[in-house]
Amino acid sequence: MTRRSDAGLTIVLVLMLACSVSALRAQSPTVGPTYRPQPMAKAHADYIPRQRFVEAMKRASVTNAMGSPVLVAKDDQTAYLVIHRSEPSAVEEHSRWDDIIVVQSGRATLLLGRGKTRGATLRAPGELRGGTLTDPLRVPLSIGDVARVPAGVAHALEPVGVDTLRAILIKVRRPSKPLRTSAR
């Protein structure tokens, strides 16, 4: 390229960057003169050091536990668990909890119910277990994948291959969802 075309390209890139910044300022409530940070007293976050997850993974693998709790948030709206699964899980449905699965090692198939679950029993208000899924959607999961199962969707995990599935499970409460009080 010549110096003239390099200069032209630089001008075009600078103009594109300026337009992008202007567009972001127009769209973002956190950029520009109207932004007001929230007082620190209202701010909160869940923090879990890496070492705590490592210890929970070790506990789960030694005890062959299906789920090992790591933390329940102070507001009881989020729970963090480590799952260790070498065999398929039972079908489950939580009427007020989203499940977020972050795969750390191994592979699995996430089965999602598209229709009714046959034979499930109500274990507690909002918690169905067992039964079979009718025509499930099959989602392959492997290391690094993240999947969210919304509240009210029946689901199960089936490990694939010889490696044990190890994942972080984040359960997020959805209190506005209706609470199921009977099996289907």
Cβ proximity of 133 and 91 under 8 Å = yes
Tell me whether strands 92-94 and 127-129 are parallel, antiparallel or unpaired.
antiparallel
Question: Coil, strand or helix: which one is 12?
Answer: helix
- At 166, list the tokens: 């190890």
pLDDT digits (tens, 9 = 90+) for 84-130: 889 999 999 999 999 999 999 999 999 999 877 889 999 888 899 99
Rg of the chain over Cα atoms, rounded to whole angstroms, equals: 23
pTM across the whole model: 0.71
pLDDT over 70, % of the chain: 72
